[in-house]
Structure 1
Amino acid sequence: MRRIAAAIALLLAATPAAAQQDYSKVEIKVERVAPGVAVLFGAGGNIGVSYGEDGNVIIDDQFAPLAPKIIAAVKSLHPDPIKFLINTHWHGDHTGGNVAFGEAGAIIVAHDNVRRRLSADTFFKTMNEQIKATPKAGLPVVTFAKGVTIHLNGDDLQVTHVDNAHTDGDSLVYWSSANVLHMGDTFFFKATYPFIDRESGGSIDGMIAAAKTGLGIVKPGGKVIPGHGPVATREDLQAYHDMLADIRAKVAAGIRAGRTKAQVIASRPTAAYEGKVASNGFITPDRFVEGTYDELKPKLAGKARR
Structure 2
Amino acid sequence: MKYLTLSLALLLTTISAAQGRFDNVEITVKEVSDHIYMLQGAGGNIGISTGEDGVFMIDDQFAPLSDKITAAIKTISPQPVKFLVNTHFHGDHSGGNANFEAAGAMIVAHDNVRKRLSENAKTANAGLPVITFSEDATFYQNGDDVFLTHVHNAHTDGDALVYFAQSNVLHTGDTFFNGRFPFIDINRGGSIAGDIAAAKKGLMLINDETKIIPGHGALATKADYQKYHDMLVTVYTEVKKAAQNNVSLEEVTAMESITSSFFTDAETAKDFISGPKFRSTVYKSILQELETNEN
Question: Taking structure 2 as the reference length, what is the TM-score of the superposition?
Answer: 0.89
**1:94 corresponds to which residue?**
93
Worse overlay, 158-167 or 269-278: 269-278
Aligned length: 278
**1:254 corresponds to which residue?**
242
- Report SS of the residue matched to 2:195: helix
How far does the alpha carbon of each residue in 1:170-205 deviate from its partner, in whole angstroms, 9 at most, with x for none? 000001011110000000112x31101111100000
Q: In 2, Cα distance between the equivalents of 1:276 and 1:232?
A: 23
Q: In 2, Cα distance between the equivalents of 1:284 and 1:178?
A: 35
1:187 matched to 2:176? The reply is yes
**1:210 corresponds to which residue?**
198
Taking the TM superposition and a 5 Å limit, the aligned residue runs for 1:125-274 are 132-190=121-179, 192-267=180-255, 268-274=257-263
How far does the alpha carbon of each residue in 1:177-235 deviate from its partner, in whole angstroms, 9 at most, with x for none? 11110000000112x31101111100000000000010011122111111010000011
Using a 3 Å threshold, how does the CA distance of structure 1 residues 298 and 105 change in structure 2: closer, same or farther?
A: closer
Gaps of at least 5 residues in structure 1 are: 1-12, 122-131
Using a 3 Å threshold, how does the CA distance of structure 1 residues 71 and 277 change in structure 2: closer, same or farther?
A: farther
CA contact (8 A) 1:28 1:41 kept: yes
Q: 1:278: how far off?
A: 4.9
Q: Tell me which stretches of 4 or more aligned residues in structure 1 moved more than 4 Å.
A: 15-18, 275-278
**1:125 corresponds to which residue?**
none
Using a 3 Å threshold, how does the CA distance of structure 1 residues 300 and 83 change in structure 2: closer, same or farther?
A: closer
How far does the alpha carbon of each residue in 1:143-182 deviate from its partner, in whole angstroms, 9 at most, with x for none? 0001211111111111111000000000000010111100
The one-letter amino acid of 1:194's match is: P
The one-letter amino acid of 2:143's match is: G
- Report SS of the residue matched to 1:216: helix
**1:52 corresponds to which residue?**
51
Question: Taking structure 1 as the reference length, what is the TM-score of the superposition?
Answer: 0.86
Q: In 1, Cα distance between the equivalents of 2:254 and 2:103?
A: 51
- Report SS of the residue matched to 2:203: helix
Q: In 2, Cα distance between the equivalents of 1:34 and 1:231?
A: 12
The one-letter amino acid of 2:228's match is: Y
| Identical-residue share of aligned pairs (%) | 50
**1:74 corresponds to which residue?**
73
The one-letter amino acid of 1:222's match is: T
Using a 3 Å threshold, how does the CA distance of structure 1 residues 176 and 17 change in structure 2: closer, same or farther?
A: farther
Q: In 2, Cα distance between the equivalents of 1:247 and 1:277?
A: 18
The one-letter amino acid of 1:62's match is: Q
Question: Root-mean-square deviation (CA), in Å?
Answer: 2.1
Using a 3 Å threshold, how does the CA distance of structure 1 residues 27 and 51 change in structure 2: closer, same or farther?
A: same
Using a 3 Å threshold, how does the CA distance of structure 1 residues 44 and 241 change in structure 2: closer, same or farther?
A: same
